[in-house]
Amino acid sequence: MLVRLAVGANSGVVGILKANSNSINRCWWCLSGQHRQKAMAALVVATTSDPASINPAKALLAMPGWEAGPNIQDDMKSYVNKGARVLVHGKGIVEEDELDKRWEQVTGEPINEVIFFSKHTAVSNKPALTVHPIGVPHLRPGDVPPQGGRPGWAALPNPRIGPWLRLLKKLAQARNLVPEFEITLEATHHGPLTNKPTMFLEIGSTEDYWKRQDAAQVMAQLAWEGLGLGGGTDVGNWSRENDNKKILLGIGGGHYAPRHMDVVLKDNVWVGHLLSGYSVPMEDPNQSKGETNGEIGGTWRESIKAAYEATKSAFPGGEVLAHLDHKSFKGWQKNAITRFLEEQNIKIGKPNNFY
């Protein structure tokens, strides 16, 4: 059975749809007029199982302009506002793979980026607001990722990571959350699987901080201003600024990437993947048992290559430069990485190359 849907003359939409819920969902975006706002949408994901995820989402949804969105799955809810879509589910934040692809399949609406609200944990238990790309490029085939993703995979890093880190710092300072909360990058880690440029926005590092409403408000304001939902220009839109600018690919250092952070906090710096020391595992050939040909084992080459390719794809027209935390490597490690980068035609950048 076919149903002809005629929409008002000013809408410019006349659709012939199959009479089932999938078809209706697939065209909700055309019929609602949302297509006139933006050709592609940002998907903001939250889970009810995590207060550091759902509280920022609730604070964002309390801001003006939100409407109920399409039903992409019975146990999920969605909301729409201009070029943003909020999707809420009930599983762990890393347990729902390919939500961007699933949204597109059900609604017919293209997604151009994915942003996750999440909690952050740390051994130190220190309060922190963090931003980071995702992936597990250092894992071998057959390894089981402890927190989602796929071995050897690096998500496309969201170009907004650097600009939003700087905006987050300003917003947190304005709300007097600094110095109580540290504002920081994190290195690339965990899942879930995504297909579009992705980043995580996290509140840490204990349950008391996960529930902090002032921290949730800052994260919501970050998304609100960063996506331009309040009427201003969105922040960190690479498509407007892709004139051969340099992008930092961080290699080495600890999980919070302090030496890379020093560069990224400068205005107008773009950042892609950040590979901490644990994501470039290198086996010293001199420590190997038995015969050795001097080959340095480990998945460091694969990890660097995957992170570079993903960063390059996320920043079309840009030039990706490797930024090494030299002090975090032993001499043989630094020499091996430098040689590999030369073989791959990946240039090494100094801090002032990114300003």
Domains of the chain and any CATH numbers:
1-36 (no CATH), 37-353 (3.40.630.50)
Contact 277/252 with Cβ under 8 angstroms?
yes
- The pLDDT of residue 32: 53
Contact 251/304 with Cβ under 8 angstroms?
yes
Query: Residue 37: is its pLDDT beyond 80?
Result: no
Given the DSSP bridges, would you call strands 111-121 and 41-47 parallel, antiparallel or unpaired?
parallel
| Residue 294 pLDDT grade (very low, low, confident, very high; cuts 50, 70, 90) | low
- Residue 146 CA to residue 128 CA, distance in Å, equals 22
Query: Residue 35: is its pLDDT beyond 70?
Result: no
| Residue from 333, 284, 343 nearest 308 by CA | 343
CA dihedral defined by 12, 16, 18, 21, rounded to 10 degrees? 10
- The pLDDT of residue 241: 67
Task: Please compute the mean of the pLDDT values over residues 211-235 and round it to a whole number.
Answer: 98
CA atoms lying within 13 Å on the CB side of residue 247:
31
Task: Please compute the mean of the pLDDT values over residues 350-355 and round it to a whole number.
Answer: 94
- The pLDDT of residue 291: 42
Cβ neighbours of residue 95 closer than 8 Å, sequence gap 6 or more: 148, 192
| Residue from 283, 287, 312, 284 nearest 299 by CA | 283
| Residue 39 pLDDT grade (very low, low, confident, very high; cuts 50, 70, 90) | low
Sheet holding 270-275, edge to edge: 270-275, 246-251, 319-324
The partner residues of 67 in beta bridges, in order of sequence, read 80
Task: Please compute the mean of the pLDDT values over residues 94-120 and round it to a whole number.
Answer: 98
Instruction: Quick: pLDDT tens for 310-349.
Output: 999 999 999 999 999 999 999 999 999 999 999 999 999 9
Contact 196/156 with Cβ under 8 angstroms?
yes
The CA-atom distances, in angstroms, between 90 and each of 45, 73, 95, 230 are 11, 12, 10, 28
10 Å CB burial of residue 292 (0-12, 13-18, 19+) is middle
CA 229, 59, 166, 313 torsion-angle sign? negative
- The pLDDT of residue 72: 93
This prediction's pTM: 0.89
- Residue 225 CA to residue 125 CA, distance in Å, equals 29
Q: 238-258: buried (b, 16+ CB within 10 Å) or exposed (e) per residue?
A: beeeeeeebbbbbbbbebbbe
Contact 345/313 with Cβ under 8 angstroms?
no
Task: Please compute the mean of the pLDDT values over residues 271-287 and round it to a whole number.
Answer: 93
